[in-house]
């Protein structure tokens, strides 16, 4: 059985002979390893490990923004990446810097600091529309065809408005202060962001060849409250899932944080899987919590980045504790939780993969 079929059976909660395994490797990972791994593609590295290949949801969406009176300018040099949202009323700057340790971009200046900034960003997104990018779609179609049955291809549609607001536009502290001080203005921005997200979702659903549509939520009660999730994220994601279901597509939510208090609400969402369902100490939930509260949902996770810094024996012991506690193993995919830490060598990942293939799965 090839990787795509294994993935699809797990997503549908169907029994398998073994538990699928996906070490979440970004494109930078091979180049940070010693030879021969540094010369391998991700597909070659997954094949060497023996894992179930999943093309990361960083492929091109096949859509691009269009503007009439507004514009966005980007400037990227070295470790700095600036995005300038420009409108007739003014402009706001979003700045990120690259962190070598995590191999990821982090905000160092959020575009929203004041009420005026909220209005400028609302004006910008009111002017924006999404259109097809035929050239990029053709590239994605070629890539998808080349992967074939050897892996799962996914694409990210975006992020729901509240999480976009908290993580990127305002930052955690200012996001809550501004939402409390200017609820009408912030909620107007949310409504505009949601219109754009639905517009983008429709285009991707109808035109993109990916097997899975992702929403990059990073959900966590360390960032938002359960009440806020119920008020904003749940209805927004429900609108997205309705479009996806009408188009008979599959959808994952990327949620890598504290989820235990959200699980009763998450169980009501019409989605196929929760991805990066990480475990303690980085979160407050276990696979058993997820399976108990969401019995019909595929759970993709079961470990965390801290665990992967330990020995292979300690990693497999941690995975065993999670798996042994479950009533069955249908709809479970073991991953690195979030992105695999670059200091974790391929030999260790392969050792864990080999162990998992021998684990007595109960399907």
Number of domains in the chain: 2
Domain identity same for 16 and 109: no
**pLDDT at residue number 59:** 83
**Is 256 part of any domain?**
yes
Domain identity same for 256 and 123: no
**Is 160 part of any domain?**
yes
Domain identity same for 205 and 87: no
Whole-Å CA distances, 119 to 40, 124, 189, 238, 350: 47, 9, 8, 26, 51
Domain identity same for 144 and 249: yes
**Is 58 part of any domain?**
yes
Nearest one of 227, 232, 288 to 261, comparing CA atoms: 227
**Is 196 part of any domain?**
yes
**Is 363 part of any domain?**
no
Asked, as a colleague might, if the bond just before 36 is cis with ω within 30 of 0, I would say yes
**Is 270 part of any domain?**
yes
Asked, as a colleague might, if the bond just before 281 is cis with ω within 30 of 0, I would say yes
Enclosing domain of residue 99: 68-127
HEC assignment per residue over 62-117: CEEEECCCCEEEEEEECCEEEEEEEECCEEEEEEEEEECCCCEEEEEECCCCCHHH
**pLDDT at residue number 66:** 98
**Is 169 part of any domain?**
yes
Domain identity same for 150 and 274: yes
Contact 84, 74 (CB under 8 A): yes
φ and ψ at residue 39, rounded to 5 degrees: -95, 0
Domain identity same for 196 and 275: yes
73-105: per-residue pLDDT in tens?
Answer: 999 999 999 999 999 999 999 999 998 777 788
226-256: per-residue pLDDT in tens?
Answer: 999 999 999 999 999 999 999 999 999 999 9
Whole-Å CA distances, 134 to 62, 153, 204: 7, 18, 12
Whole-Å CA distances, 91 to 83, 173, 174, 177, 350: 10, 22, 19, 21, 49
Domain identity same for 177 and 206: yes
Last-in-domain residue among 127, 151, 168: 127
**Rounded (to 5) percent helix, strand, coil in the chain:** 45, 20, 35
- What is the DSSP pairing of strand 212-216 with strand 104-109? unpaired
Last-in-domain residue among 102, 127, 152: 127
**pLDDT at residue number 213:** 97
Nearest one of 315, 326, 336 to 291, comparing CA atoms: 326
Residue 305, domain CATH: 3.20.20.210
Domain identity same for 42 and 153: yes
**pLDDT at residue number 27:** 86
**pLDDT at residue number 57:** 67
Domain identity same for 13 and 78: no
* Residues 6 or more apart whose Cβ sits within 8 Å of residue 145: none
**Is 173 part of any domain?**
yes
d(Cα 108, Cα 80) in Å, to the nearest integer? 10
d(Cα 216, Cα 164) in Å, to the nearest integer? 9
Q: Is the sign of the CA dihedral 320, 323, 329, 333 positive or negative?
A: negative
Domain identity same for 222 and 97: no
Last-in-domain residue among 112, 127, 142: 127
Residues of the chain with pLDDT under 70: 57
Domain identity same for 118 and 207: no
d(Cα 148, Cα 55) in Å, to the nearest integer? 11
Domain identity same for 88 and 189: no
């Amino acid at each position: 059985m090839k990787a795509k079929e294994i993935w699809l059976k797990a997503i549908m909660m169907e029994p398998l002979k073994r538990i699928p395994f996906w070490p979440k490797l970004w494109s930078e990972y091979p180049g940070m390893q010693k030879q021969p791994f540094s010369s391998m593609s991700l597909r070659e590295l997954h094949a060497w490990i023996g894992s179930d290949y999943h093309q990361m949801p960083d492929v091109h969406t096949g859509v691009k923004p269009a503007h009439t009176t507004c514009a966005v300018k980007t400037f990227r040099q070295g470790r700095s990446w600036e995005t300038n949202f420009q409108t007739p009323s003014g402009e706001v700057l979003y700045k990120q810097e690259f962190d070598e340790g995590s191999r990821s971009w982090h905000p160092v200046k959020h575009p929203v600091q004041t009420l005026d900034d909220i209005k400028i960003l609302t004006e910008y997104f009111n002017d924006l529309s999404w259109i097809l990018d035929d050239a990029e779609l053709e590239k994605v179609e070629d890539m998808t065809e080349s992967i074939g049955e050897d892996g799962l291809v996914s694409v990210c549609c975006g992020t729901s408005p509240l999480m976009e607001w908290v993580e990127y536009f305002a930052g955690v502290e200012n996001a809550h202060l501004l939402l409390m001080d200017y609820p009408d203005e912030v909620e107007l921005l949310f409504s505009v962001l949601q219109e754009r997200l639905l517009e983008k979702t429709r285009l991707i659903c109808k035109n993109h060849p990916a097997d899975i549509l992702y929403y990059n939520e990073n959900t966590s009660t360390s960032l938002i409250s359960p009440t806020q999730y119920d008020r904003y994220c749940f209805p927004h994601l429900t609108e997205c899932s309705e479009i996806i279901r009408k188009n008979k597509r599959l959808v994952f939510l990327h949620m890598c944080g504290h989820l235990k208090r959200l699980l009763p609400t998450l169980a009501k969402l019409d989605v196929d899987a929760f991805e990066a369902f990480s475990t303690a100490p980085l979160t407050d939930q276990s696979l058993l919590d997820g399976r108990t509260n969401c019995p019909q949902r595929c759970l993709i996770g079961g470990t965390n980045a801290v665990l992967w810094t330990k020995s292979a024996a300690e990693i497999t012991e941690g995975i065993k504790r999670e798996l042994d506690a479950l009533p069955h193993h249908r709809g479970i995919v073991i991953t690195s939780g979030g992105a695999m830490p670059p200091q974790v060598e391929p030999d260790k990942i392969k050792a864990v993969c080999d162990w998992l293939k021998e684990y007595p799965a109960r399907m």
